[in-house]
Structure 1
Amino acid sequence: MTPSRDSSSSSVEARTDETSLLRHAPLRRFLIARFGSISAQQMLMLAISWHMYDLTSSAWDLGLVGLFQFVPGLATTLVAGHCADRMHRGRMVAACLAVQAVIAALLVIATVGHSMTRDVLLGLSLALGAIRPFQMAGQQALLPMLVPQKLLARSMALGTVVQQISVIAGPAIGGMLFAVSVIAVYLTSAVLFCVSAVMYAWVRYDYVPPPREPVTANTILAGLRFIWGNPLLLGGISLDLFAVLFGGATALLPVYAKQILHVGPQGLGLLRSAPAVGALCVGLFLSRRSIISGVGKKLLVAVAIYGCAIVGFGLSRSFSVSLLLLAISGGADTISVIVRQTLVQLETPDRMRGRVAAVNTLFIGASNQLGEFESGLTAASFGVVGSVVVGGCATILVSLAWSRLFKPLARRDALH
């Protein structure tokens, strides 16, 4: 069978070298759809959390919203990776976004009909958590199919820029729409999901349906086995897992804003935004100039810098210095993310990219959730400042240990 190919994809490599990446139609559609979908998700999560607290006034119920989205993702992640390797990835992501648009519409109907309850919000949160791994696995495995390999690192950086802009813009737009009503937030999210779904459905790439094979435990777990047998990938993915697990300070930012820096809720908003600003700046730079040599050492150094920035933030009593250190941590983390994800994509054959992306997504989700738990646990033992400082020091030690334990990662010179 002759694979379908977008009319703009002939001589892609030659034309993309000569012009901006944004002139490449499939990548442009991908990035626009990515911006719309992430913004919609940020707005939807903001609205659901606010709606839950408005209904119940319970911090416990707020925590349940996050838990109800995390737990089903654990059950569906590996299956999602298998599907991403068996299906057209653009259409798979489009279908996931369409389902989320339906969920947003159901939230509108329940709100207008005055039938919104705690159980409705938790049930729809459960559905969102179950479908999102399919979207993430499809997105991660789709990007390498849209650009030549030598431009993948710059494309990953550009994707990070779009993600950070969405993370900043989504809640800001959602907050403004709250001035109208929560229904306006839900409706806008639904529209953005629909538009993004159409954009993903229009993304074209060389797609050859894989040969049919039975779905077994071996095929579903193939991504885990592939990573375990590849020291470079295992080192990169586990490095991120432990760096975020120990070095994450997000869960304790409200304590810093209120009790240590004394800046109130407005300052808390700036503290939460600072890492995204640093990530955005570094992402913009790397979208123009990718890392060419010494990528393994630079990855490990970036993780160590991230740990140092977290230690400095933990000890800081100056609001401006704290903002700067958090921005540095976000920038260093972005270097780590771009290098690691590019290596994962380049070292994984296309037939395995969906399943490997799913495992990567599982590790990221686990590190974020467990990192918040670790922060709370160590804060109870060492105090808030001690928790952040100990976590940052642990991240630095992880970087040093991984340089010894995973030689192929430390010695990797070029991305390609």
Structure 2
Amino acid sequence: MASQLLADEQHITWKQFNNYWASQSFAQVAGQVLNVGFPLIAAEVLDLRPSEVAFTTSLQFIPYLVVTPIAGIVVDRVNRIRLVMTCHALRAVLLALVGLLAVSGSLTAPVLWLTVFLAGALNALASVGTLALVPDLAPEGGLAKANSRLQFSMSITQVIGPSAAGLLLALSGNLVFFAIALAFGLAAAMIVRTRAREMERNEGPAESWTATIVAGARFVRRTTTLWVLLLQMTLFNLFEQAVITLFMLFALRELDLDSAQVGLVFGAGAIGSVAGAWLAPRFRSARGISAVLVLSTALASVAPCALPFVPEGSPTVAMAMSGLTFCFYGFGLTVFNVHSNTLRHHLAPRELQGRLAAVFRTSAFTSIALGAALGGLLAEHIPFRTAIGIACAGLVSACVLFAVLFTRATSDATSTS
């Protein structure tokens, strides 16, 4: 009887998580279309300069500098489900309104940039809530499986999103905004059906906002494994975003690919992410967590080094070689993300999950914004191939540093225990 009750509880818990999973899948589709669609609109529709295209990309992530630390406090104090639902709904309304402006012919660079900034602010708040919700919804012992499911749907949307952005833009730039609004609206509708475990609240005197933010940062600093993961994520995102920004411009300006073909390259590359999400939970049983994280980030860092050698003159060859490169990159990155997220969820108490996510998100998206700016700066002054090679060298150097520090940190932890 007890075992049956436990099975029923597990079933209900997974049912609630799957509602959340479906909601996040719609939101991730919208996010992927946004990430590719905004810079493509800047480059193709508004015909902005490379530095302005890079600025458009950076502007998606600049709000993380201000919003994310505050989001960590909010997420740990309010109902996380309602917070994420509100963010989805507001983004749906925002993109629908901008779509109407585009239909009327009022879309300009400043209007686009304001939209990008506001969407980025809502993304920053929602992303912290999204990460913090996983321990609230995953069944006992199911964190790795839950993170794998989320990464799996993210990988699928990485296939769908860029291709959809390129296709919608090729048909009509206005369709991009309405499609994103619809996806966010569906995400908000699905998450209404989700119920999470209530977190125990501290009934004592409330800490100041500054003290609350610092508490998350101090926890990361005291936990060696966490700050090494934070360092790697920061450096990886910096150079990865520079590579992606440079490759997008390189493909459009020198490889003679159009926006739809660029979307297909990123979409085809995400096939590796799907495989990585599917296989990630199996790898830890075969190798220790340290080996899995080091090997997966090595693959994600080394694979882009093939991009400077993509030949000109044949769009088909360029698409095939680029897609294969991004496939290996996506596989390694997704395996790394599944296990690093699971490790972070295990290491932090539930009442700190929001602030922990805020620390990682602030660092991650700050480095993404800087990486996009770095890519635009390099593109303005040196050839695309050379610029991509410099960014790839940064990726490989960061990987070597992570392998040394993380192996040392896990070895010290094992010795201590």
> Is 1:221 aligned to 2:222, yes or no?
no
- Spell out the pairing of 1:143-222 with structure 2 (5 A cutoff): 143-177=134-168, 182-208=173-199, 210-212=201-203, 213-222=206-215
Matching residue's letter, 2:332: A
24, 42, 58: which one aligns with 1:34 = 24
Matching residue's letter, 2:187: S
**% identical aligned pairs:** 23
Aligned to 1:232: 225
User: Post-superposition shift, 1:151?
Assistant: 2.0
Instruction: State the TM-score, normalizing by the size of structure 2.
Output: 0.82
> Is 1:243 aligned to 2:239, yes or no?
no
What SS does the aligned partner of 2:328 have? helix
User: Post-superposition shift, 1:303?
Assistant: 1.9
When structure 1 is superposed on structure 2, of 81-90 and 320-329 the one drifting more is 320-329
Matching residue's letter, 2:271: V
User: Post-superposition shift, 1:299?
Assistant: 0.8
> Is 1:24 aligned to 2:14, yes or no?
yes
Deviations 1:340-387, CA, capped at 9 Å, x for gaps: 111111111110100111111122212322233444556778754444
Tell me if the contact between 1:245 and 1:370 (Cα under 8 Å) persists in the aligned partners.
Answer: yes
Q: Equivalents in 1 of 2:52, 2:246: separation in Å?
A: 19
Aligned to 2:290: 296
Tell me if the contact between 1:245 and 1:368 (Cα under 8 Å) persists in the aligned partners.
Answer: yes
User: Post-superposition shift, 1:192?
Assistant: 2.5
> Is 1:272 aligned to 2:266, yes or no?
yes
Q: Equivalents in 1 of 2:123, 2:218: separation in Å?
A: 23
- Sort the Cα spacing of 1:172 and 1:403 in 2 relative to 1 into closer, same or farther, 3 A: closer
- Sort the Cα spacing of 1:192 and 1:381 in 2 relative to 1 into closer, same or farther, 3 A: closer
> Is 1:325 aligned to 2:325, yes or no?
yes
Instruction: State the TM-score, normalizing by the size of structure 1.
Output: 0.82
Q: Equivalents in 2 of 1:236, 1:83: separation in Å?
A: 24
Tell me if the contact between 1:275 and 1:330 (Cα under 8 Å) persists in the aligned partners.
Answer: yes
Aligned to 1:4: none
Calculate the aligned-residue CA RMSD, in Å.
Answer: 3.4
User: Post-superposition shift, 1:80?
Assistant: 0.5
- Sort the Cα spacing of 1:103 and 1:218 in 2 relative to 1 into closer, same or farther, 3 A: same
Q: Equivalents in 2 of 1:327, 1:46: separation in Å?
A: 17
Tell me if the contact between 1:296 and 1:412 (Cα under 8 Å) persists in the aligned partners.
Answer: no
- Sort the Cα spacing of 1:90 and 1:388 in 2 relative to 1 into closer, same or farther, 3 A: same
Matching residue's letter, 2:131: Q
Aligned to 1:121: 112
User: Post-superposition shift, 1:193?
Assistant: 1.8
Q: Equivalents in 2 of 1:177, 1:256: separation in Å?
A: 21
Tell me if the contact between 2:232 and 2:402 (Cα under 8 Å) persists in the aligned partners.
Answer: yes
Tell me if the contact between 1:274 and 1:330 (Cα under 8 Å) persists in the aligned partners.
Answer: no
49, 63, 82: which one aligns with 1:91 = 82
Q: Equivalents in 1 of 2:108, 2:370: separation in Å?
A: 29
Matching residue's letter, 2:6: S
Matching residue's letter, 1:220: I
- Sort the Cα spacing of 1:343 and 1:12 in 2 relative to 1 into closer, same or farther, 3 A: farther
Deviations 1:311-350, CA, capped at 9 Å, x for gaps: 3443465744443333112111112211211111111111
Deviations 1:206-229, CA, capped at 9 Å, x for gaps: 114523514331112221121111
Aligned to 1:100: 91
Number of corresponding residues: 398
Q: Equivalents in 1 of 2:53, 2:250: separation in Å?
A: 21
- Sort the Cα spacing of 1:11 and 1:412 in 2 relative to 1 into closer, same or farther, 3 A: farther
User: Post-superposition shift, 1:70?
Assistant: 2.6
Deviations 1:1-59, CA, capped at 9 Å, x for gaps: xxxxxxxx96369746xxxx9x9211211111011112223445666556666774333
- Spell out the pairing of 1:331-370 with structure 2 (5 A cutoff): 331-370=331-370
Deviations 1:290-326, CA, capped at 9 Å, x for gaps: 5234111221122223333233443465744443333
Matching residue's letter, 2:212: T
What SS does the aligned partner of 1:291 have? helix
> Is 1:253 aligned to 2:247, yes or no?
yes
When structure 1 is superposed on structure 2, of 350-359 and 336-345 the one drifting more is 336-345
Tell me if the contact between 1:253 and 1:268 (Cα under 8 Å) persists in the aligned partners.
Answer: no
Q: Equivalents in 2 of 1:151, 1:89: separation in Å?
A: 20
Name structure 1 gaps, 5 residues minimum. 1-8
Matching residue's letter, 1:35: S
Aligned to 1:5: none
- Sort the Cα spacing of 1:297 and 1:379 in 2 relative to 1 into closer, same or farther, 3 A: farther
Tell me if the contact between 2:163 and 2:264 (Cα under 8 Å) persists in the aligned partners.
Answer: no
What SS does the aligned partner of 2:201 have? coil
What SS does the aligned partner of 2:332 have? helix
Matching residue's letter, 2:29: S
User: Post-superposition shift, 1:63?
Assistant: 4.3
Tell me if the contact between 1:303 and 1:396 (Cα under 8 Å) persists in the aligned partners.
Answer: no
Q: Equivalents in 2 of 1:229, 1:367: separation in Å?
A: 22
Q: Equivalents in 2 of 1:263, 1:117: separation in Å?
A: 26
User: Post-superposition shift, 1:81?
Assistant: 0.9
What SS does the aligned partner of 2:76 have? helix
Matching residue's letter, 1:28: N
Matching residue's letter, 1:139: T
> Is 1:135 aligned to 2:126, yes or no?
yes
Aligned to 1:11: 6
Tell me if the contact between 1:154 and 1:286 (Cα under 8 Å) persists in the aligned partners.
Answer: no
Q: Equivalents in 1 of 2:36, 2:305: separation in Å?
A: 30
